[in-house]
Amino acid sequence: MGEYQHNIDDKNRLTIPVKFRDMLGSSFVVTRGLDRCLFVYPMEEWKALTEKLKSLPFTKADARAFTRFFFSGATECEWDKQGRVNIPPHLREHGRLQKECVIIGVQNRMEIWGKTEWDAYSLEQEQSFGEIAEKLVDFNL
């Protein structure tokens, strides 16, 4: 959990906060996420997700389209000595990542957002946060 702001350097490397590096381990997967962000999974979570997605019926066009999009964008990554990760061009493009990025923790994954995209998304969702919670959550927060 948490929200952090970092910049992509001239060599397309992004420094990840230590707390997330510890959670992700030495090898992890970055892929296209929903809402124009990148999803980052620890290897153990990636393997569990892969198993779940295997159960989707390949005879359904939506299942094939989703798994193609999701897996074709995936890349296994490792840290450099300074705790940075190199974001491949196709993922930078998907996430509309420029220089400024926002890194957030979301349950079993980390997300990387372009700052402009995150600011717009946050503003839009903040307006309806109460309504969304009312629809989805059946307990008192």
Query: pLDDT at position 141, please?
Result: 52
How many of the other CB atoms lie within 10 Å of CB of 14?
Answer: 20
Gap between the Cα atoms of 74 and 29, Å rounded: 6
Delimit the domains of the chain by residue range.
Answer: 2-139
**Taking a C-beta distance cutoff of 8 angstroms, is the pair 90, 83 a contact?**
no
Query: pLDDT at position 135, please?
Result: 72
pTM to 2 decimal places = 0.86
C-alpha torsion angle, residues 70, 47, 117, 65 (rounded to 10): 10
**Taking a C-beta distance cutoff of 8 angstroms, is the pair 56, 67 a contact?**
yes
Phi, psi (degrees; rounded to nearest 5) at 96:
50, 45
**Which among 24, 22, 6, 2 has a CA at the least distance from the CA of 104?**
2
Query: pLDDT at position 76, please?
Result: 95
What architecture does CATH give domain 2-139? 3-Layer(aba) Sandwich (3.40)
Taking the chain (141 residues) in consecutive chunks of 10 residues, what is each chunk's mean pLDDT?
92 90 91 93 93 88 89 91 91 93 93 94 79 67 52
